[in-house]
Structure formats: structure tokens, C-alpha cells
């Protein structure tokens, strides 16, 4: 096997698949990176068995030659050394030459590396996902949906199903839901061209975070296919495969109150900054509680108290307040996460009492919903 | 005590003194930041007993009012919370008001923090350094001298004296020397106005690193004063005090060879890149050894071998080679550090045999010297 490749193309491909490679895997060969060279191009693969990433570098793309002097073959490279070597090679072209003892010679300019490779036959085959049953959506919209929900997944392994984002596709409507049982984030969008149904799958939050990092913001589309235990995200040169989480995702719709006793319309940023300041005194406590009080006027009082350190008190002016006066306490972290995810200048907060979950939504958009359970302090 | 201060001035001052404050100190009050308010301005102090930093914010500076509504007093603030609070306050002005029970009220716009302070009488007095016996030098030159030497100090506490930089001032010549006994870095500059002598003091490398971080690159001067066990660096608004290291610094001048058998003149960057690549395969080994071989022509061969991973071999072209052929092995890390410190496009390397220390200097500048002890491999 041998070929000559443009170094920048190789760097990009290597960087993408590295996201799936862990040095801590129990399957030793998975610490390596698989490289498959065919006449039409080079495919790199990395996997930690939960996530697998394939990056494809076509030999020719839009009239530009990326790979040449191709003799086909496969090899597994040491992922601990290969990426850094490629990044530091002196010239813009790289020759890679592999002999039958899996010795890998990497040459660029007057620099020559000889690395011990491994037989690619020992590398596990990736699960095949049927791509006939799939739908497409714009990449930037997918990244946005991930960003607005994934922070709310649970980080505790006590209920593994909650460490994933619940994905549903029904009646041309795609819904992402995440909850750690103390708060919930939900985002939906219409997919007019989708003529299929996904009853529900739960994708690990970690997988979605990695996917989001790899995808460039772009209006190109991504194809999503689901089988029993795998989901495949596919763009032009990238396959991103993740296992799904087993188990029943809790029914979340009944958590969401359908009426409210107090409604507050308020600018997002001033409220966010105020909550951020109120959270400063409670750095170490896990439940970093702030109090939120509204009286008869539009002045909202945000306060927090940390006996050994001191206390903080602020006022933020709401744009509109309807309904009963309210005193409620909640985790400042949850509120900060929710307000940051909303991405609109103004929000509506709907309360149904000091001990009931409350909802935060953007003022002009029903497709995003953030829900937070209060903390009992009064 | 109370005053109103420009938030950006307070942020800068706090940031500087925070560099000296450690949460791990054995003297509890030193986890705090002392604030002294006088009619002429506000002085902030932080200290971990090795390093102490005072930052002064004048009430008025170049016609601009920084501090007003001054009632004099002193307080010690909780350094864990105060900096972040100041940074996040909503308005450009901050009011600070301290009552007799050391309650600190910080107000900015509609935000009010109440922090528990401590009595400043409990804060240790900083050692007084006589500033009559002092010399001045440009700040950017001092930063440069630190950068070119401090990396070579020892990180091992077995010979504490080597964890510092040796500073000497004699006959209007200032010399910085650092060595960990495997390599040495030396830089000297003339100080024409200095009419004093510093026989030798050893300043902890850590102190010089912190000092370097605080000083802005500028052509303004810094005043340096030395007593038996302290050194004071003083700029317009900053006092930086460090303890000195006790003990005898080894005589280093006899380490430096006075003749050479092989002299190689070579471009710095290509050599540096080549050594960096050769070091990639030896990541985990502490002594990350590369071989350097010159034959009859001007081609230098750089190579490294790591049995389990592979090997690397490169050629770099020297501009001029004089003297005997040579095979020598050395730590790639030491060579990388030395070449980076030199800051010139071309260097001369002077060897006196495979087992003798060798010298690297810039081609047009005698004031910088880097010395490395080779490693026995042949």
C-alpha cells in the first residue's frame, strides 16, 4: 500500500476521527486509527465502540487532486503519534508507504518517519446501518437543536437512560428532549420532507456533543438514519455512528404545566447577568440556589445568601408581570443554562406556584421550552 | 471606610495582586486581599509569604479621577470571591463601604453584595526593602532576560538553590544565569547608569515567572533593589517583592568550554522544527534523546529511535561546518528550549567532543549563551 496525499486534507480527516479514539479503550486495537486506501480515495476510521467516525478523503474533489500514486491497501496506525507527526511534517505533501510487515514509512521533504503499524484485519467491523430509512436536515439546525437540549442530560449513571437526548420524529415534526429529572430542555422543528416516523430513540449526550464539535456550521444537509441500536449521521465526507441507549425514556409531557399563575416577560441578558452575579457567592455548593421574588411592581428581586461569605441582592426590571406575587428558589446553574440556550432577546417565564416546575420560553417562538423544578427553601 | 472607584482600574489592580495569593497558604489571612484606602489612592496587597505584590491605584492620574468620595480605612477581603464579583458588576463605577464590624458592602447599579471582611490589623506587615541602593532598567529588557534564562532552572527540590536564577551586577554589567546541572542559560546586558554592585543573589524562578506575567511589555523602567533576603521590583504603580534563596550558587563559569573542535553555523528555525519532529516519538520518556551527526558535507542528520513506536530521521543543511566530524546525543527538550530562547535567525553551535558540554549562541550576539550537556549513547 502507498499513496501521496495533501497534508492539510490528511490533517483535517485525522482530526475528525481522533474525536472517537480513546487511549483508555479495553480493545487495544481501538487505540489505533484505521486507514483504508482505494483508487477513489482514503478512508480514516476511529472508534471507541460507543462512537465510530469515518472520514473520507476523495482522490479527486472538484477538479483538485488530493491523493495520487495510489496502491490500494489497509493499515492501522498508532493514533498516539500519527496525528502530531502529520501536523508537524515540513512539506505540504506527504508520502505514506506500508510494507507487508506493516512497517509504515511517512516521508515529507527531508523528514522520514518509520512507524510500527498493525494488521487492519484485526480492526473490528463497524455495524452496518441501513440508510434507506432516513431523513435529512440542515447541519446548522441540527447543531442548534443539540446545543439547546444536550446540556440538560443527566451526568449521573444511576439512571443511564437520562444521560441521552430523546429524539422523536412524527408527522413531519422532529423533537429533541433532555432531562436530568430536575430540569428539562425541549426543542422541536418541522421536517417537511420526512415521510418516516421515529417512535423514539435515545442518543448519548456525549455522542451528540462530539458530533457537534466535528460538524462545521454550514447550510449543507446531514442525513440521519436509525436502526434498533445505532444512529448514523452522514454528511458528504463523514460518517458518524453512535450506539443508542437501551431502556424506556420517561414520559415527560405530563411534567409540563398547562396553565400558569404568574407570567413574567423580561429581557434575557439583564436577567442572565443578574443570576450569574447572584451565583458567585455559592461557587462550592452543588445546589447553587438563588431566590426570585416579584412584588406588585415590575421590579424582580434576585438574591442569594451564603452565610460564611455574605449575600447579594439585585433588582431587574421586567417588561410585563401578570398574576400573583411570587417567591421562588431555584438552582442558578439551571437558570443560567436555560437562558443561554434560548438565544432570544426576551423571554416569558410561566410559574404555577413556588413548589411547581416553571417554564421559560422565548417570547416569539413556541418551539423551544426550558423547564426547571424549584428548590424548597421557604 | 468608603470610596467610589472606576471598575476597570479596580479589575486591573485586583488581577495583579491575585498572582501572589494562594488558597493553599498556611497563614489563613493570606488567602485574603488587603485593601488600604487613603486620600491619595487605594493600595491592594496580596502575598503568599514568598511573593508579595502591591498594586496602587492613585485617586487621580493624569487629570482623570479614579477614586472619589474617599473615607480612609483598611480591610481584608475574601480573595476567592472578590475578583469575580468586581469583574461581573453591572456598571463602570463601584461603591465600596465598610462598617466597623468589617462588613463590606459593594454596590454597582442595582446590584448589591455584602461580604464578610477581616480586620486588616491581622494582615502581616511586608518586609521593608531599602530602596536607596537600587538600579533601573527597561521593563521589556528585564522580561526578555527572564524569558531567556528562567526555563533552565531546576524543578527538583533536591538542590533548592538551583530552582532560582542567579543575578549578578558588576562593573555596569548585569548577568542572569540559570542551570539545573544538565544545561545552563546565561544572558548579560550592560547597565551603564548602575553605580552599585550585587555580588550575587538567587531569585526563585517562580517569582520571576510571576513578575514577567504581571509586567506589560513597555519601554518604561523598573527599579530593582536588593537586601539580604528580599528583592524588590518597583514600577510606577506596582511593588513586587520576592524572598531570595539561601545558599551558595555553584561556580558556573568553569563549565563553559573555552575552545571547540567542531563549529556549526545553522539557521535556527529549520533546526528547531527538525528537533521538534524527532522528539515526537519519545513523548513519554523523560530523557527524550535525539542524535545529531555531521559528516563531511554540510548535511546534519537528526535522528531518534523509540523501539516500540518506530524511528525518525531527517537532514538539515548547515550554513557552515568547521572541524571534526561528530556524533552526539542530547535531550531534545533542552535543545528546543535553548533554540526558542535565542530569538535570532541563525546560531553557532560549538562542540568539544561527544561527551563534553556544547554551546549555542546567536551568530551576531555574545550576550546570550545556552549550554547543554550531552547524553551518553555511543
List the single range of A74-88, A287-301, B16-30 with lowest mean pLDDT.
A287-301
pLDDT digits (tens, 9 = 90+) for B223-268: 999 988 999 999 999 999 999 999 999 999 888 998 999 999 999 9
Residue B68 has pLDDT above 60, yes or no: yes
Which of B75, B277, B284 to probe by mutation at the A interface, max A CB count within 10 Å?
Answer: B277
Tell me the average pLDDT of chain B: 94
The C-alpha cell of A310 is what? 455574605
Per-residue pLDDT band for B307 (boundaries 50, 70, 90) equals confident
Average pLDDT value for residue range A60-76? 96
Any domain includes B128: no
Which residues does chain A have within 8 Å of residue B315's beta carbon, measured at their own beta carbons?
Answer: 110
Tell me the average pLDDT of chain A: 94
Sheet strands side by side (includes B358-362): B198-204, B164-170, B173-179, B183-190, B368-372, B358-362, B346-351, B262-267, B320-323
Give buried/exposed letters for B117-148 (b at 16+ CB in 10 A, else e): bbebeebeebeebeeeebbebebebbbbbbbb
Check CB contact under 8 Å for B88 and A308.
no
Q: Say if residue A6 is in the same domain as residue A118.
A: yes
Residue B378 has pLDDT above 80, yes or no: no
List the single range of A22-26, A173-177, B274-278 with lowest mean pLDDT.
A22-26
List the single range of A129-133, A190-194, A249-253 with lowest mean pLDDT.
A129-133
Q: Is A88 on the interface with B (CB under 8 A)?
A: yes
Which of A122, A150, A178 is a domain's end point? A122
Q: What percent of chain A has pLDDT over 90?
A: 84
Q: Which of A88, A273, A313 sits opposite B277 (nearest CB)?
A: A88
Under DSSP, is residue A29 helix (H, G, I), strand (E, B) or coil?
helix
Q: Say if residue B9 is in the same domain as residue B112.
A: yes
CA distances from A259 to A148, A374, B49 (A): 24, 17, 60
d(CA A290, CA A272): 12
Under DSSP, is residue B253 helix (H, G, I), strand (E, B) or coil?
helix
Q: Say if residue A193 is in the same domain as residue A164.
A: yes
Q: Is A271 on the interface with B (CB under 8 A)?
A: no
Check CB contact under 8 Å for B113 and A311.
yes
Q: Which of A104, A110, A283 sits opposite B314 (nearest CB)?
A: A110
Give buried/exposed letters for A324-350 (b at 16+ CB in 10 A, else e): eebebbbbbbbbbbbbebbeeebbbbb
Which of B23, B105, B111, B288 to probe by mutation at the A interface, max A CB count within 10 Å?
Answer: B111
Per-residue pLDDT band for B171 (boundaries 50, 70, 90) equals very high
Q: Say if residue A205 is in the same domain as residue A279.
A: no
Any domain includes B205: yes
Residues 6+ apart with CB under 8 A from A185: A148, A149, A151, A152, A177, A178, A179, A338, A341, A369, A370, A371
CATH number of domain containing A360:
3.70.10.10
Residue A164 has pLDDT above 70, yes or no: yes
CA distances from B184 to B45, B149, B338, B368 (A): 35, 8, 9, 11
The pairing of beta strand B358-362 with beta strand B183-190: unpaired
d(CA B327, CA B375): 11
Closest-CA residue to B85 (of A311, A277, A335, A306): A277
Please report the DSSP string for A180-217 in residue order. -SSEEEEEEEE-TT----EEEEEEEHHHHHHHHHHSPS
Average pLDDT value for residue range B20-44? 95
Any domain includes B249: no
Check CB contact under 8 Å for B114 and A310.
yes
d(CA B36, CA B54): 10
Please report the DSSP string for A71-121 in residue order. E-EEEEEETTTHHHHHHH-SSSEEEEEE-TT-EEEEEETTEEEEEE-B-GG
* Chain centroid to CA B234: 15
Q: Say if residue A278 is in the same domain as residue A364.
A: yes
What is the structure's pLDDT at A157?
87
Per-residue pLDDT band for B283 (boundaries 50, 70, 90) equals low
List the single range of A33-37, A273-277, B88-92, B227-231 with lowest mean pLDDT.
B227-231
Residue B17 has pLDDT above 70, yes or no: yes
Inter-residue contact A60 to A29 (CB < 8 Å)? no
Q: Say if residue A149 is in the same domain as residue A116.
A: no
Element spanning A148, H or E: helix A139-149
What is the structure's pLDDT at B25?
84
Check CB contact under 8 Å for A84 and B308.
no
Residue A96 has pLDDT above 80, yes or no: yes
User: Rounded to 5 degrees, what angle do the CA atoms B266, B272, B274 make?
Assistant: 95
Average pLDDT value for residue range B273-286? 81
Residue A297's domain comprises 256-372
The C-alpha cell of B53 is what? 505584590
Inter-residue contact A98 to A117 (CB < 8 Å)? yes
Q: Which of A110, A116, A310 sits opposite B310 (nearest CB)?
A: A116
CA distances from A44 to A16, A79, A93, A237, B93 (A): 9, 11, 18, 11, 56
Which residues does chain B have within 8 Å of residue A283's beta carbon, measured at their own beta carbons?
Answer: 80-81
Q: Say if residue A42 is in the same domain as residue A92.
A: yes
Which of A243, A266, A286 is a domain's end point? A243
pLDDT digits (tens, 9 = 90+) for A171-193: 999 999 999 999 999 999 999 99
What is the structure's pLDDT at B287?
60
Rounded to a whole number, what is the distance in Å from the CA of A137 to chain B's nearest CA? 39
Average pLDDT value for residue range A306-313? 89
List the single range of A233-242, B114-123, B147-156, B278-287 with lowest mean pLDDT.
B278-287
Check CB contact under 8 Å for B312 and A114.
yes
pLDDT digits (tens, 9 = 90+) for B47-60: 998 999 999 999 99
Which of B72, B93, B122 is a domain's end point? B122
Which residues does chain A have within 8 Å of residue B79's beta carbon, measured at their own beta carbons?
Answer: none
Element spanning A315, H or E: strand A310-317
Average pLDDT value for residue range B188-217? 94
φ, ψ dihedrals at A219, nearest 5° = -90, 0
Per-residue pLDDT band for A284 (boundaries 50, 70, 90) equals low
What is the structure's pLDDT at A219?
80
List the single range of A236-250, A278-292, B28-42, B90-104 with lowest mean pLDDT.
A278-292
Residue B163 has pLDDT above 90, yes or no: yes
Q: Is A300 on the interface with B (CB under 8 A)?
A: no
Which residues does chain A have within 8 Å of residue B281's beta carbon, measured at their own beta carbons?
Answer: 81, 113
Any domain includes B248: no
Any domain includes A362: yes
Residue A29 has pLDDT above 70, yes or no: yes
**A32 - beta bridge partners?**
A78
Per-residue pLDDT band for B19 (boundaries 50, 70, 90) equals very high
Q: Say if residue B102 is in the same domain as residue B52.
A: yes
Residue A163 has pLDDT above 80, yes or no: yes
Average pLDDT value for residue range B57-72? 96
Per-residue pLDDT band for B285 (boundaries 50, 70, 90) equals low
Residue B181 has pLDDT above 70, yes or no: yes
Q: Say if residue A66 is in the same domain as residue A148.
A: no
Any domain includes B250: no
Residues 6+ apart with CB under 8 A from A167: A174, A175, A176, A198, A200, A201, A202, A203, A231
Rounded to a whole number, what is the distance in Å from the CA of B118 to chain A's nearest CA? 11
Average pLDDT value for residue range B27-46? 97
**Which DSSP letter does residue A284 get?**
T
Any domain includes A131: no
Q: Say if residue B158 is in the same domain as residue B223.
A: yes
What is the structure's pLDDT at B175?
97
CATH number of domain containing A15:
3.10.150.10
Any domain includes A249: no
Average pLDDT value for residue range B316-342? 95
Q: Which of B80, B310, B316 sits opposite A115 (nearest CB)?
A: B310
Which of B75, B77, B80, B81 to probe by mutation at the A interface, max A CB count within 10 Å?
Answer: B81
Per-residue pLDDT band for A286 (boundaries 50, 70, 90) equals low
Check CB contact under 8 Å for A110 and B315.
yes
d(CA A273, CA A276): 5
Residue B286 has pLDDT above 70, yes or no: no
Q: Say if residue A117 is in the same domain as residue A145.
A: no
Residues 6+ apart with CB under 8 A from B286: none
What is the structure's pLDDT at B228?
81
Number of structural domains in chain B: 3
User: Rounded to 5 degrees, what angle do the CA atoms A79, A93, A69 make?
Assistant: 95
Per-residue pLDDT band for B278 (boundaries 50, 70, 90) equals very high
Per-residue pLDDT band for A287 (boundaries 50, 70, 90) equals low
Which residues does chain A have within 8 Å of residue B110's beta carbon, measured at their own beta carbons?
Answer: 314-316
Element spanning A145, H or E: helix A139-149
Q: Say if residue B345 is in the same domain as residue B308.
A: yes
Neighbours of A245 (CB within 10 A): 20
Amino acid at each position: 500500500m502507498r499513496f501521496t496525499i495533501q497534508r492539510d486534507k490528511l490533517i483535517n480527516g485525522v482530526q475528525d476521527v481522533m474525536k472517537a479514539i480513546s487511549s483508555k479503550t479495553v480493545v487495544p486495537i481501538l487505540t489505533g486509527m484505521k486507514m483504508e486506501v482505494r483508487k477513489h480515495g482514503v478512508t480514516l476510521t476511529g472508534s471507541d465502540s460507543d462512537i465510530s467516525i469515518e472520514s473520507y478523503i476523495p482522490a479527486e474533489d472538484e477538479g483538485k487532486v488530493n491523493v495520487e500514486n495510489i496502491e490500494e491497501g489497509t493499515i492501522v496506525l498508532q493514533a498516539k503519534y500519527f496525528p502530531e507527526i502529520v501536523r508537524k511534517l515540513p512539506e505540504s505533501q506527504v508520502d505514506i508507504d506500508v510494507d507487508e510487515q506493516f512497517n509504515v514509512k511517512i516521508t515529507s521533504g527531508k523528514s522520514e518517519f518509520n512507524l510500527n503499524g498493525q494488521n487492519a484485519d484485526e480492526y473490528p467491523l463497524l455495524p452496518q446501518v441501513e440508510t434507506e430509512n432516513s431523513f435529512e436536515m440542515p447541519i446548522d439546525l441540527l447543531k442548534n437543536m443539540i446545543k439547546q437540549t444536550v446540556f440538560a442530560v443527566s451526568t449521573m449513571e444511576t439512571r443511564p437512560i437520562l444521560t441521552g437526548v430523546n429524539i422523536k420524529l412524527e408527522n413531519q415534526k422532529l423533537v429533541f428532549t433532555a432531562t436530568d429529572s430536575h430540569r428539562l430542555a425541549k426543542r422541536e422543528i418541522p421536517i417537511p420532507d420526512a415521510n418516516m416516523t421515529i417512535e423514539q430513540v435515545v442518543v448519548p449526550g456525549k455522542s451528540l456533543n462530539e458530533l457537534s464539535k466535528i460538524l462545521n456550521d454550514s447550510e449543507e444537509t446531514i442525513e440521519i438514519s436509525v436502526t434498533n441500536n445505532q444512529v448514523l449521521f452522514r454528511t458528504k465526507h463523514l460518517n458518524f455512528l453512535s450506539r443508542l441507549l437501551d431502556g424506556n425514556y420517561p414520559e415527560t409531557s405530563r411534567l409540563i404545566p398547562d396553565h400558569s399563575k404568574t407570567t413574567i416577560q423580561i429581557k434575557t441578558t439583564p436577567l442572565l447577568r443578574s443570576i450569574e452575579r447572584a451565583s458567585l457567592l455559592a461557587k462550592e455548593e452543588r445546589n447553587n440556589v438563588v431566590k426570585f421574588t416579584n412584588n406588585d411592581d415590575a421590579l424582580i428581586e434576585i438574591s442569594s445568601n451564603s452565610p460564611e461569605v455574605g449575600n447579594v441582592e439585585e433588582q431587574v426590571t421586567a417588561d410585563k408581570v401578570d398574576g400573583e406575587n411570587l417567591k421562588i428558589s431555584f438552582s442558578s446553574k439551571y437558570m443560567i443554562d436555560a437562558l443561554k440556550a434560548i438565544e432570544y432577546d426576551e423571554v416569558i417565564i410561566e410559574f404555577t406556584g413556588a413548589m411547581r416546575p416553571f417554564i421559560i420560553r422565548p417570547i416569539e417562538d413556541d418551539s423551544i421550552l426550558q423547564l426547571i423544578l424549584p428548590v424548597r427553601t421557604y
